[in-house]
Amino acid sequence: MHELAITESIVESVEGRVHGAKVLRVALEIGKLSGVVPDALRACFELCAEGTVMEGAALDIEETPGRARCRDCDAQVELLDTIALCPCGSANLAMLSGNELKIRSVEVV
Ligand SMILES: [Zn+2]
């Protein structure tokens, strides 16, 4: 389960920033095309946060939609999964967003 490795790196990077302060809330931005399942991430977060400054912290997850630009007709297309076509029929798409996995904010005591 790759969510576990991702969560571990999130917990590590937050711990490195808060210098021992107790964390109340962590807000994440996850692209719909990143392959990360928010529910799985939540479950892993509870496990990984145990015994750290993040234990009991709330986890806010905002999912960002996938967007791409068609290299043939220059239209912007919303991507629901990684296999997508432009309405013009082209599959020559440049992904603009949807792959993010970012820590947006961390709230400490
Ligand atoms: Zn197109």
Q: pLDDT, tens digit, for every residue of 43-98?
A: 999 999 999 999 999 999 999 999 999 999 999 999 887 778 999 999 999 999 99
Q: Is the pLDDT of residue 36 over 80?
A: yes
Under a CB-based contact definition with an 8 Å cutoff, are residues 40 and 59 in contact?
no
1 pLDDT band, cuts 50/70/90, is low
pLDDT at 2 over 90: no
Torsional sign, CA 90, 96, 102, 107:
negative
What phi and psi, each to the nearest 5 degrees, are found at residue 55? -60, 130
CB-proximal residues (5 Å) to ion ligand 1: 70, 72-73, 75, 86, 88, 90
- Distance of CA 34 from the midpoint of ligand 1 (Å): 23
Domain locations in the chain as residue ranges: 2-65+98-108
- Residue 89 CA, ligand 1 centroid: distance in Å: 6
Topology classification of domain 2-65+98-108: hypothetical protein PF0899 fold (3.30.2320)
**Among 2, 51, 54, CA closest to 30:** 2
